[in-house]
Amino acid sequence: MTEIATNTPVRIDSPSKRIAKQFIEDPVAVVGLILFGLVALIAIAAPWLAPQNPYDLAQLNIMDSSLPPGETSFDTEMTYWLGTDQQGRDMLSAIMYGLRISLLVATVSLALAITIGTIVGVFAAFFGGRLDSIIMRIVDLQLSFPAILIALILLALLGRGVDKVIMALVIVQWAYYARTVRSSAMVERSKDYIDAARCLGLPSRRIMFRHLLPNCVPPLIVVATVQIAQAIALEATLSFLGVGVPITEPSLGLLIANGYDYLLSGNYWISVFPGIALVVTIIAINLVGDRLRDVLNPRLQK
Amino acid sequence: MTALLDVKNLQTHFFTRDGVAKAVDGVSFSLDRGQILGLVGESGSGKSVTGFSILGLIDPPGRVAGGQILFDGDDLLAGGEAIMRNLRGKRIAMIFQDPMMTLNPVLRVDTQMVETVRAHDNVSKAEALRRSREALVQVGISSPDERLQSYPHQFSGGMRQRVAIAIALLHKPDLIIADEPTTALDVTIQAQILSEVQNICAQSGTALIWITHDLAVVSGLADRLAVMYAGRIIEEGPTSDVISNPRHPYTRGLIDSVPQGKRHGAMLTQIKGMTPSLLKLPQGCKFAPRCPRADRVCEVEPTLDPAGPDRSVRCHHPHSEANGKATS
Amino acid sequence: MSFDTILQIDGVSKRFSKDLDLAERTARKLGAKIAPATVHAVDTVNLDIRRGEVLGLVGESGCGKSTLGRMVAGLTTPSEGRILYNGQDVSTLKGAAARDAALKIQMIFQDPMSSLNPRLQVREIVGEAPRFHGIVQRNQMASYVEDLLDQVGLDPSMGKRYPHQFSGGQRARIGIARALAVRPHFLVCDESVAALDVSIQAQVLNLFVKLRQDFDLTYLFVSHDLGVVEHISDRIAVMYLGRIVELGESEDLIARPNHPYTQALVSEIPTFETGKKIYHAIEGEIPSPMNPPTGCHFHPRCPHAFDRCRVEVPALKEVAPGRLSACHLNDRAT
Ligand SMILES: Nc1ncnc2c1ncn2[C@@H]1O[C@H](COP(=O)(O)OP(=O)(O)OP(=O)(O)O)[C@@H](O)[C@H]1O
Ligand SMILES: Nc1ncnc2c1ncn2[C@@H]1O[C@H](COP(=O)(O)OP(=O)(O)OP(=O)(O)O)[C@@H](O)[C@H]1O
Ligand code: SF4
Ligand SMILES: [Mg+2]
Ligand SMILES: [Mg+2]
């Protein structure tokens, strides 16, 4: 008779728990995570946190224009901790709202690009053959051009607008995900559990989405953290160049651009503070991303 | 005459996130010149770590935490890295399961072999090449001149392993440690390599530690057998005695669980349960939870005690010396 | 013959060709003589598997064992020939009939870890297919899975764990339970115990023997380990470079191997020696299936090879009742 194996193996943490445990071992990454949490919180809660609604022209006072940091308002009690711009807008509030726009554009484009890239990548890997080579040719072609160039051309054609920027970012980014997902899906597809699923008569769609896809996610997370920082920077660049978001909904990039003209006349704060916000955001994301890459990389495990 | 290699109470521990894994916990054995020792045990029993410890190749989080390794009278653990580096490759060589651990895929075989020769011996290139060629002939590679000019990927798996063995032989070492060098190979190729190794040891008086999980493979090759379980040697003795009359219940279980013609189609005798995790070893005898003879006494860890001529066993209730009938 | 054949492998071949890349294709269009490199992994194999038997398939690495097994399991389509299950060519069936026939043949894989989806719980791994195919009702699912786990010697309460929480032998059992869940009649076991430790290997081999009786299974048992195959099989087929070179009753074949290759294999079965064994090796390496030797594939390594072996492929012929062998020596003797 077969014995029931009596002694159970050591209890092992679930993968996500293990990853979390390992993640917090690096203090720098934890700082990055906290910073990013703050940034995200500010972006989400901007309408409630910000002293002023920078889009509401009625709240602005032209008399307060270009006040340096720490000055109080001409008529109200309000203190402008980060100064005001040439229209008398509170920079602190503008940065909070700008962060909101920047992160919104980045995350929405990221979500769309991941979805498209993942589906394309999994299809290419699962069916292989001609479909695979055609898709991968397109991906290679696209990735051989600088992202900024493609985005500039697209926006020149599409015009300005938050939706247009998102569209451009999706088109620029999907190829990264398609390539990442395809390569990990190729590895996973060759494993026996995919053959086992085929043997059990499960349909291709189910195998692809229930078995193949979830196992391709870890490398995707790493690419996504790198890419979201890229997307924020790209959007800022586009806005800075004046082809990105419209002037009525300024993102960090546009704020920097606005202040740029006044930099030489000594009104540094209009440009520098949004710049710092941008840099902090990107650094925080990169710190988290780097650590995640280390923790998720199976080759560095054990 | 002192033994060539004398390992005393070796302790090699891995300090991991989840606790201290005592991969080798009190291993002692000795080996004379020209002797072949088979080091047998299941996956994770600490065979490779023992081999690596002798060569000083344990990397953090692992560390040799105690014991002595005397090689030709010198204590390797006290000697420091410089002495070790001098011995490694010259007087002690290692053969790995994956020959590509030894071979560099982007260098031609002759480059690698000449480099190895000249790493320890100050000889001319021509002389080094001559010795490389000789080593290849020794491991049974035909047309060695052609082979010298090839890259490792142009060889088949069995041939690559033979080149790795040839490299190990270059300095006519006193001791070779072979870590499952034939596990990945086919039976027919395995037999070729075994026969070559057998000849080489007989001719040159090289001592050999052959690490494997396959008792049958070493039974025809080794002079002595040491069976490991959970970081310990649980039985040791002359090969024929251990095979024909295993005294430890685990050794006996291992031998019985190998399919062997005669009992065709019947159920195999099996060892119940599974290999324990090093982080959660039972108190007392480590084999007790799987052992058919375990009782209260086994809650105290047994020591490796002499059991018959030239043999030792780590068990409170060993099988009797006569053809394996129970004693208790 | 009067045996009840469950599966008939009828002249099956499988060729893999490495696709030419763009440059090579262009060169070929321009008239260069570049042919795609072809591996003849399986070469015109004929084999009848009897209902209820265990047929062992042995051979060295790369000889095409897995490829043949995968064709039987329907994971690879043959380049030539047919595979008949209960007299029907499964590949010509349509719809539900095709699916039912396909489910009757299941495969047990070599690597216990990579054959389990690491992100699914054991009960999902085992229960997915039967639920999807409506073999059991949703509300009976839990007890169905528990039953299966019990059958393969696992604690039924382990259903909620993930594969990485099990040992190698337990994972192998999960793979077996998954296959049994769709109520197969035929199991292809491809090196199913090769990755396991000796003591665990014995447990799983015993499980195969037990399940064969409990579920009336027929096995195609693929392994490079003649010792294991001999233990479990009723008949053994020996494969060399894509061809079956010998087939016979297990005990008889081991006791009296006819083909020189089988003889060499049998003499190298590791056995427990109580004295030093002198190893004899078959000369030479296994040739590459990319360009196999002419005539008998084994002739470059065969100690008895003569002129005819180099030019003419020996046919697989009956040399004794129930024993087939493909060697020219058999013609010589008579
Ligand atoms: N770098 C490491 N970190 C932590 N533990 C380790 C490390 N290397 C080895 N070990 C542990 O040491 C134990 C013994 O390992 P070892 O490689 O010696 O086993 P083995 O007997 O050679 O097994 P196998 O037959 O699988 O090669 C294992 O349980 C392993 O988990
Ligand atoms: N998908 C494939 N594409 C190209 N060649 C293949 C493919 N699958 C197998 N082959 C080739 O077919 C031959 C037979 O392979 P197969 O896996 O059937 O051998 P095997 O007998 O199972 O060997 P092993 O014991 O190593 O598993 C090999 O030369 C292999 O390289
Ligand atoms: S046919 Fe010739 S070469 Fe082939 S096995 Fe028989 S004797 Fe040897
Ligand atoms: Mg090892
Ligand atoms: Mg195979």
CA B158 from centre of chain: 19
Residues A283, A31 contacting (CB under 8 angstroms): no
CB–CB contact A10 B273 (8 Å): no
Q: What count of other Cβ atoms lies within 10 Å of the Cβ of residue C158? A: 18
Ligand 1 in contact with B19 (CB < 6 A)? Answer: no
Q: pLDDT digits over C1-23, tens only?
A: 457 899 999 999 999 887 666 66
DSSP C324: E
What 3-state class would DSSP assign to C16? strand
CB–CB contact B219 C273 (8 Å): yes
Provide the pLDDT for residue C68. 95
CB–CB contacts below 8 A, B to C:
150
Q: Tell me which chain A residues have a C-beta less than 8 angstroms from the C-beta of B280.
A: 10
Those residues with Cβ within 8 angstroms of residue B81's Cβ, 6 or more apart along the chain or in another chain: B56
Alpha-carbon span B194 to B175, nearest angstrom: 16
Give the phi and the psi of residue C16 in degrees, each rounded to 5: -110, 130
For residue C130, is pLDDT > 90? yes
For residue C297, is pLDDT > 50? yes
Alpha-carbon span B195 to C205, nearest angstrom: 30
Supply the residue whose CA is at minimum distance from atom 27 of ligand 1: B43
Q: Taking chain A, what is the end-to-end CA distance rounded to the nearest angstrom?
A: 36
User: Per the structure block, which two tokens stand in for A182?
Assistant: 């395809």
Q: pLDDT digits over C154-198, tens only?
A: 888 888 888 888 888 889 999 999 999 999 999 999 988 888 888
Provide the pLDDT for residue A4. 37
Tell me chain A's radius of gyration from C-alpha atoms: 24
Alpha-carbon span A241 to A245, nearest angstrom: 10
Q: pLDDT digits over C249-294, tens only?
A: 999 999 999 999 999 888 877 777 666 667 766 676 677 777 888 9
Provide the pLDDT for residue B262. 60
% residues pLDDT > 70 (chain B): 96
CB–CB contact C162 A193 (8 Å): no
Three-state SS string across chain B, please? CCCCEEEEEEEEEEEECCEEEEEEEEEEEEECCCCEEEEECCCCCCHHHHHHHHCCCCCCCEEEEEEEEEECCEEHHHHCHHHHHHHECCCEEEECCCHHHCCCCCCCHHHHHHHHHHHHCCCCHHHHHHHHHHHHHHCCCCCHHHHHCCCHHHCCHHHHHHHHHHHHHCCCCCEEEEECCCCCCCHHHHHHHHHHHHHHHHHHCCEEEEEECCHHHHHCCCCEEEEEECCEEEEEEEHHHHHHCCCCHHHHHHHHHCCCHHHCCCCCCCCCCCCCCHHHCCCCCCCHHHCCCCCHHHHCCCCCEECCCCCEECCCCCCCCCCCCCCC
Q: Which domain holds residue C161?
A: 5-20+37-258
CA nearest neighbour of C155 among B204, A126, A2, B236: A2
CB–CB contact B268 C205 (8 Å): yes
Q: Tell me which chain C residues have a C-beta less than 8 angstroms from the C-beta of B324.
A: none
Give the phi and the psi of residue A292 in degrees, each rounded to 5: -60, -40
Alpha-carbon span A42 to A107, nearest angstrom: 15
List the subunits that have 3+ CB pairs under 8 angstroms with C: A, B
% residues pLDDT > 90 (chain B): 31
Q: Which comes out higher in pLDDT, residue C36 or B240?
A: B240
For residue A12, is pLDDT > 70? no
- B199 by Cβ neighbours in 10 Å (0-12 / 13-18 / 19+) ranks as middle
Identify the band that residue A3 occupies on the pLDDT scale cut at 50, 70 and 90: very low
Contact with chain B for residue C197, Cβ under 8 A: yes
Pocket test for ligand 2, best of C42, C65, C238 (most atoms within 8 A of CB): C65
Alpha-carbon span C195 to A194, nearest angstrom: 19
CA nearest neighbour of A175 among A208, A146, A218: A146
Identify the band that residue B62 occupies on the pLDDT scale cut at 50, 70 and 90: confident
> For the residues A226-249, what does the mean pLDDT come to?
83
Alpha-carbon span C269 to C205, nearest angstrom: 18
Q: pLDDT digits over C205-234, tens only?
A: 999 999 998 999 999 999 988 888 999 999
User: Per the structure block, which two tokens stand in for C96?
Assistant: 């539900």
The most confident of the ranges A42-51, A54-63, C68-77 is C68-77
- Overall residue count recorded for chain A in this entry: 302
Alpha-carbon span B215 to B226, nearest angstrom: 10
For residue A7, is pLDDT > 50? no
User: Per the structure block, which two tokens stand in for A33?
Assistant: 């995570």
| Residue at C306 is within a domain | no
CB–CB contact A7 B270 (8 Å): no
Supply the residue whose CA is at minimum distance from atom 16 of ligand 2: C64
Residue type, B160: R
For residue B42, is pLDDT > 50? yes
Supply the residue whose CA is at minimum distance from atom 25 of ligand 2: C61
Alpha-carbon span A19 to A13, nearest angstrom: 9
> For the residues C138-145, what does the mean pLDDT come to?
91
Residue type, C67: T
Contact with chain A for residue C225, Cβ under 8 A: no
The residue of B154, B274, B277, B286 whose CB has the most chain C CBs within 10 angstroms, and thus the best one to mutate to test that interface, is B274
For residue A298, is pLDDT > 60? no
Alpha-carbon span C52 to C216, nearest angstrom: 6
Question: What CATH number has the domain bearing residue C163?
Answer: 3.40.50.300
Alpha-carbon span A88 to A72, nearest angstrom: 12
Q: What count of other Cβ atoms lies within 10 Å of the Cβ of residue A82? A: 22
For residue B236, is pLDDT > 90? yes
Contact with chain A for residue B281, Cβ under 8 A: no
> For the residues C56-80, what does the mean pLDDT come to?
91
Provide the pLDDT for residue C99. 85
Provide the pLDDT for residue A13. 56
Provide the pLDDT for residue C33. 67
Provide the pLDDT for residue B327. 39
The whole model's pTM is what? 0.83
Identify the band that residue C334 occupies on the pLDDT scale cut at 50, 70 and 90: low
Where do we find the tokens 């940065």?
Answer: A95
Provide the pLDDT for residue C242. 92
For residue C34, is pLDDT > 80? no
Provide the pLDDT for residue A1. 36
Q: pLDDT digits over B92-137, tens only?
A: 999 988 888 888 888 899 999 998 899 888 889 999 999 999 888 8
Q: pLDDT digits over B213-223, tens only?
A: 888 888 888 99
Residues C308, C299 contacting (CB under 8 angstroms): no
State the DSSP string of A213-229: GGGGHHHHHHHHHHHHH
Contact with chain A for residue B280, Cβ under 8 A: yes
- List B66's β-bridge partners, or say none: B11
> For the residues C298-314, what does the mean pLDDT come to?
91
Please work out, in degrees rounded to the nearest 5, the angle formed at the alpha carbon of residue A227 by the alpha carbons of A221 and A228.
90
- List B328's β-bridge partners, or say none: none
Ordered domains of chain A (ranges, CATH)? 27-300 (1.10.3720.10)
Element (H, E) at A35: helix A27-49
CB–CB contact B274 C170 (8 Å): yes
Where do we find the tokens 């390599």?
Answer: B193
Shortest CB distance from B253 goes to which of C199, C231, C275? C199
For residue B189, is pLDDT > 90? no
> For the residues B27-44, what does the mean pLDDT come to?
91
Range in A126-130, A188-192, C26-30, C95-99 the model is least confident about? C26-30
Provide the pLDDT for residue A11. 46
Give the phi and the psi of residue C293 in degrees, each rounded to 5: -65, 155
Residues A87, A95 contacting (CB under 8 angstroms): no
Alpha-carbon span A188 to A191, nearest angstrom: 5
For residue B323, is pLDDT > 70? no
Pairing state between β B224-229 and B232-238: antiparallel
Provide the pLDDT for residue B142. 76
Alpha carbon of C301 to ligand 3 centroid (Å): 9
Provide the pLDDT for residue B28. 92
Task: Spell out the domain ranges in chain B.
Answer: 92-170
| Residue at C325 is within a domain | no
Laid out side by side, the sheet with C5-17 consists of: C38-50, C5-17, C80-85, C88-89
Contact with chain A for residue B274, Cβ under 8 A: yes
Those residues with Cβ within 8 angstroms of residue A18's Cβ, 6 or more apart along the chain or in another chain: A12
Residue of A nearest to B60 (CA): A302
What 3-state class would DSSP assign to A132? helix
Residue of A nearest to C22 (CA): A133
Provide the pLDDT for residue C22. 65
Provide the pLDDT for residue C274. 63
Laid out side by side, the sheet with B207-212 consists of: B92-95, B175-179, B207-212, B36-40, B224-229, B232-238, B312-313, B305-306
The residues lining ligand 2, judged by C-beta closer than 6 Å to any ligand atom, are C 16, 39, 41, 59, 61-67, 224, 289
Residue of B nearest to A21 (CA): B17
Q: What domain count does chain C have?
A: 1
CB–CB contacts below 8 A, A to B:
19
